[in-house]
Structure 1
Amino acid sequence: MNKQDYIKSKPVQSFVEWIAPMLDTPDSFNHKYFLKKQKRDWECDSIFCAYENYSWQFKYTDEFQKEIKGTSFCECEEVLHSLSVKLRNGVTQGNNNICKEVSRQILQWGGVTNRNIDKIENIENMGQEWFLYLLQTKEQFERNLDSNEYFRSEIIMNSGFTKIYSLLVDDFLIYDGRLGAALGLLARGYCEGKKLETIPEELHFCWGAGRESIINSKEKSRRNPSSDKYRFGSLYSPKVHLENNIRANWIVQEVLCNTKSKFNCLEESKKMRAFESALFMIGYHVKDHLFQ
């Protein structure tokens, strides 16, 4: 499916209309849970409120071994913008060392260095410099950005690499397990509200379990947005992950372009990141959510 067919489909258009009042109307989307790492309650009463209450405790070391840390959306957005500029310049200049160092910083910011650094090294061990892999992947995304059927098998896709791609390619969301869980939750709410028999394929977003959920099987369903009637799949393969990422890019762009909310008051360059941040917070814990 290409972008135009996707966004013009009845399920997507109907979903955009359904979600519009929940963007910033008070008490339109009440969601709450307990943040274990920060040991505090978190809540929102709209999707925009979820963005306003964004919190991610990040820490990484830059190329000068200086520790960079923060928590707020503004702090995250500032460092991500800086990392994006460095990464893109490194790719343009063909500077492999810069690309590897910035990629390490991105993965460390996201808390997903485990195994992903090894994947970068594996690419180089197979004879391809990392900057060239990024350049070819970026060119392929940009050349075929309106389709989700063009992917070569060599593209690596997981919760770490989506962060790198998001800073390399315009309008590319960080599609991790939390974002997938949030989109699945909203899709489930839409299906319940419309009393649909099944989930439309266009709105079937896959989710991923968090690290602590994988370790502790009792926590495994924390990010599973499914109900007895509406069952959402998990991010079980790179191909599925990438296809979900592309469809998420499209539907979030469509929501932002065709609704009126406080998101429209943000700088153009920050709108998509702000919506992504709202979904990130919502997706931390979705299994107990009940729609009004």
Structure 2
Amino acid sequence: MPSRPHAPTLTPDGQWEHRAVRNHEQIREFCQFLVREWGGNRHHSYAVPSRGKSRAWSRTVDGKWSAVGLADAVSKYAWSGKNFSENKAELDRFATDLQSAIQRDSNNDVCAILRAIMHWGGVDNKYRQKRTFEWIERNAGEISAKISNAVDLIKDERASLESFDGVNLIMNSTMTKIVSLADPEQKLVIYDGRVGGALGFFVARFTEEREIHRYDIADQLLFAVDRDAKRTPDTNRIHFPALFGKTRDLCHASMVRWASQLIWQVAKECQASPREIEAALFMWGYNVAEEPEH
């Protein structure tokens, strides 16, 4: 299960160990909660704007997306006019090509594949993704080693993530797609504002239904979220940290680690793939601010 990002400080009364055990139990309980949500009957819906990027998608759903449970959300997955299986086939091809290029240490090929992945993810705007493009350019000569290092660090729950300092290694919604596809075991999930928003939404429901006090929520369940109003699942009981802050790369890398461990566990118990759970959360998390209908 996820480890805490910093070394524990033992309180004078020696309560830390008790808290660590309780946190571990709570994360385990939340995994079970999500397993039930997979085949559950929770209703979620939101309006899809008929203008801008979502125009084509809006037309296919008559302006409103809705699902009952997370498994249903996957069946209603849409990205770039394609459904889940069509997008999964595309991601599988990217993963095969990227892993092969990294193994051959062919940095030129890796850079070309990264551009294709960014285009697929709609994150290839040179201006908006300036920081990512600059980092890739600066590290073009050793990009294979850099990406492999990022994957290994995130997957080793005992490893420090301090290297994600925005200079040596970076992590953001674009890079999370890249490390996810670079992982030969496909255990790392894509953690963006939509997946983070959905995880926060379910943590909020979990804490409400169990009446867990805000100070008793395990750190690893306080998923960092995009501060876009529709992606913010805050309630009176729980307030989630922002995904973009001073140590945003370190924070984002921690989220990829925590979410991946959790989603891998949930997927195993649902007999689904982590990619399916991730896709369901991606659809659910487009808008988590509206009151769900009953």
- Normalised to the residue count of structure 1, the TM-score between the two structures is 0.80
* CA RMSD in angstroms, aligned pairs only: 2.4
Q: Deviations over 1:137-192 (max 9, x none)?
A: 334445x2x33634413221111010001100130000000000000000000000
Which one-letter code corresponds to 2:37 in the other structure? M
Please, which runs of 5 or more residues in structure 1 have no aligned partner? 58-69, 210-219
The structure-2 alpha-carbon separation of the partners of 1:88 and 1:44, relative to structure 1 and needing over 3 Å to count, comes to: same
1:42 is aligned, of 65, 68, 90, to 65
Which one-letter code corresponds to 1:129 in the other structure? E
Q: What's the counterpart of residue 29 of structure 2?
A: 14
Q: What's the counterpart of residue 73 of structure 1?
A: 84
Q: Which moved more, 1:88-97 or 1:199-208?
A: 199-208
Q: Deviations over 1:255-289 (max 9, x none)?
A: 223x3x4xx1x5xxxx1101100000000000113
Which one-letter code corresponds to 1:190 in the other structure? F
- Residues in 2 aligned to 1:148 and 1:248: alpha-carbon distance in whole angstroms: 16
Kindly indicate whether residue 264 of structure 2 is the aligned counterpart of residue 289 of structure 1: no
SS in 1 for 2:230: coil
SS in 2 for 1:163: helix
Q: Deviation at 1:8?
A: 7.8
SS in 2 for 1:129: helix
2:173 is aligned, of 137, 155, 159, to 159
1:180/1:207 contact within 8 Å kept: yes
1:33 is aligned, of 46, 51, 54, to 46
Kindly indicate whether residue 249 of structure 2 is the aligned counterpart of residue 231 of structure 1: no
Q: Deviation at 1:234?
A: 1.4
2:79 is aligned, of 42, 45, 56, to 56
- Residues in 2 aligned to 1:46 and 1:221: alpha-carbon distance in whole angstroms: 23
The structure-2 alpha-carbon separation of the partners of 1:166 and 1:122, relative to structure 1 and needing over 3 Å to count, comes to: closer
- Residues in 1 aligned to 2:285 and 2:254: alpha-carbon distance in whole angstroms: 19
Q: Deviation at 1:207?
A: 1.2
Q: What's the counterpart of residue 203 of structure 1?
A: 221
Q: What's the counterpart of residue 174 of structure 1?
A: 190
2:195/2:282 contact within 8 Å kept: yes
Which one-letter code corresponds to 1:232 in the other structure? F
- Residues in 2 aligned to 1:245 and 1:126: alpha-carbon distance in whole angstroms: 22
Please, which runs of 5 or more residues in structure 2 have no aligned partner? 5-19
The structure-2 alpha-carbon separation of the partners of 1:7 and 1:178, relative to structure 1 and needing over 3 Å to count, comes to: farther
Q: Which moved more, 1:156-165 or 1:116-125?
A: 116-125
Which one-letter code corresponds to 1:9 in the other structure? H
- Normalised to the residue count of structure 2, the TM-score between the two structures is 0.79
1:186 is aligned, of 183, 202, 205, to 202
The structure-2 alpha-carbon separation of the partners of 1:16 and 1:135, relative to structure 1 and needing over 3 Å to count, comes to: closer
SS in 2 for 1:134: helix
Q: What's the counterpart of residue 257 of structure 2?
A: 246
The structure-2 alpha-carbon separation of the partners of 1:291 and 1:190, relative to structure 1 and needing over 3 Å to count, comes to: farther
Q: Deviation at 1:203?
A: 1.0
Aligned length: 256
- Residues in 2 aligned to 1:91 and 1:6: alpha-carbon distance in whole angstroms: 39
2:154/2:253 contact within 8 Å kept: no
